[in-house]
A and B are shown apart, each in its own frame.
Chain A
Amino acid sequence: MNAIEIKGLCKSYPDFTLSDINLTLPQGAIMGLVGENGAGKSTTLRLIMNAIARDAGSVSVLGVDNQAPSFAALRQDIGVVLDEAYFPEVLTAADVGRVMAGTYRNWSTEQYQSCLSRFSLPEKKAFKDFSRGMKMKLAIAVALSHSPRLLILDEATSGLDPMMRDEILDIFNDFTREETHSILLSSHIVSDLEKICDYIAFIHRGKLLLCEEKDRLLEEYGVVHVRRGDYEALPEDAVIGRRETPYGAEALVRRDGVSSAFGVERTTLEDIILFMAKGER
């Protein structure tokens, strides 16, 4: 079964259009959604949760159409963390735990307690005194504590220090040890996604430019460094994007289209995305 299946998804606003998004997240996998600010990542996530209504297309989550009546019950199985976490200001982490215990059928107080201590979150401090990182960690603790099968996270690691980001990634990694558990997370910290994702989807100006297995991407593409005069020798259809300096040129290429004599080097996800985004302009 697929955790998320999106076909032909469209949504128009007066100043922004998300058009024809098709993506599939198989169960047990982690997919990273990348894109610049305003590319449509959050819109896509909100459309998946049916928090905003779509104009066209279909979205099915854990096998259920997200506009079907039965989707309401399914929300219990989905842990959502949005880029800004809000809880009532006067509540403490312990209060939030009590409220959630009354909200979620499968709430695990034990799991919540272990998250709080793992994240070193104070139980008695009011939410208004939390730092951005602490707010985010609290939201993640809540999302993990109602036994979800799917996590949807919007910029969950931004605003956290590298150590904490790494720890959160470890938690996500552990979460998917269970093969029925899946994660869709958006981020513009590409290195984080490169660390844990199985699939990468790249949204640019409301369009999905890419949705592929991460390791295949890294195998398929490479970077070549050539003298500016030699640039023309590269087969045009193999070149995805280029960057020129007064001293030479650098190009992102499809490995299978370029002779190994060019010395194709390993690239990073970040470079693939940057070159592709520039190529679109």
Chain B
Amino acid sequence: MDIIISNASGRPIYEQIYAQIKNAVVSGELSAGDALPSIRALAKDLRISVITTKRAYDELERDGYINTVAGKGCYVAPKDLSLVRESQLVEIEQCMRRILELAGPLGLGRAELAEMFENLCS
């Protein structure tokens, strides 16, 4: 699995790790039961902070992508399709919120936004 940390992106490092491991899980690159590198090993190999790496793993676990077995390590959780779908829906919703935020100051109404969207789809 490749994990690429970019300092220029302005995205918090824990988010970058979170997103890349999540993508690997969702895309099937990692399958259920696969062992993940330990927090410490990953942090030291990437030369990033242990705390930041832990934060990414904590969030992955909270969101159900990985499981931690005390004393053994972290593993990819059995894939729950409804969970994956749910998380994608949340992401779409966030993008839509962002559209509304951007549209507000421009005075774009619902109809105009819908039209833009129609044009995109066709």
Q: Quick check: is A5 within 8 A (CB to CB) of the other chain? A: no
Nearest Cβ in chain B — how far from A165, in angstroms? 14
Question: Are the C-beta atoms of A215 and B10 separated by less than 8 Å?
Answer: no
Question: Are the C-beta atoms of A266 and B44 separated by less than 8 Å?
Answer: no
Q: Quick check: is B31 within 8 A (CB to CB) of the other chain? A: no
Q: Quick check: is A197 within 8 A (CB to CB) of the other chain? A: yes
- Looking at the complex, which one of B8, B13, B40 makes contact with A28 (CB distance below 8 Å)? B40
Question: Are the C-beta atoms of B47 and A215 separated by less than 8 Å?
Answer: no
Q: Quick check: is A265 within 8 A (CB to CB) of the other chain? A: yes
**Bound: A199/B52 CA distance, A:** 11
Question: Are the C-beta atoms of A198 and B40 separated by less than 8 Å?
Answer: no
Q: Which of the segments A65-73, A156-164, A173-181, A236-244 contacts the partner chain?
A: A173-181
- Looking at the complex, which one of A177, A199, A219, A265 makes contact with B44 (CB distance below 8 Å)? A177
Residues in chain B near residue A173, CB distance under 8 A: 44, 47
Nearest Cβ in chain B — how far from A118, in angstroms? 17
Total A-B pairs, Cβ < 8 A? 37
**Bound: A215/B10 CA distance, A:** 12
Residues in chain B near residue A196, CB distance under 8 A: 47
**Bound: A28/B13 CA distance, A:** 20
Q: Quick check: is A213 within 8 A (CB to CB) of the other chain? A: yes
Question: Are the C-beta atoms of A29 and B47 separated by less than 8 Å?
Answer: no
Q: Quick check: is B12 within 8 A (CB to CB) of the other chain? A: yes
Residues in chain B near residue A149, CB distance under 8 A: none
**Bound: A198/B13 CA distance, A:** 13
Nearest Cβ in chain A — how far from B37, in angstroms? 12
- List residues of B whose CB falls within 8 A of some A CB: 7-8, 10, 12-14, 40-41, 44, 47-52
19 A-B contacts, Cβ less than 8 Å apart? Answer: A28-B40, A28-B50, A29-B50, A29-B51, A173-B44, A174-B44, A176-B40, A176-B44, A177-B40, A177-B44, A179-B40, A195-B47, A198-B50, A213-B51, A215-B12, A215-B14, A265-B10, A266-B7, A266-B10
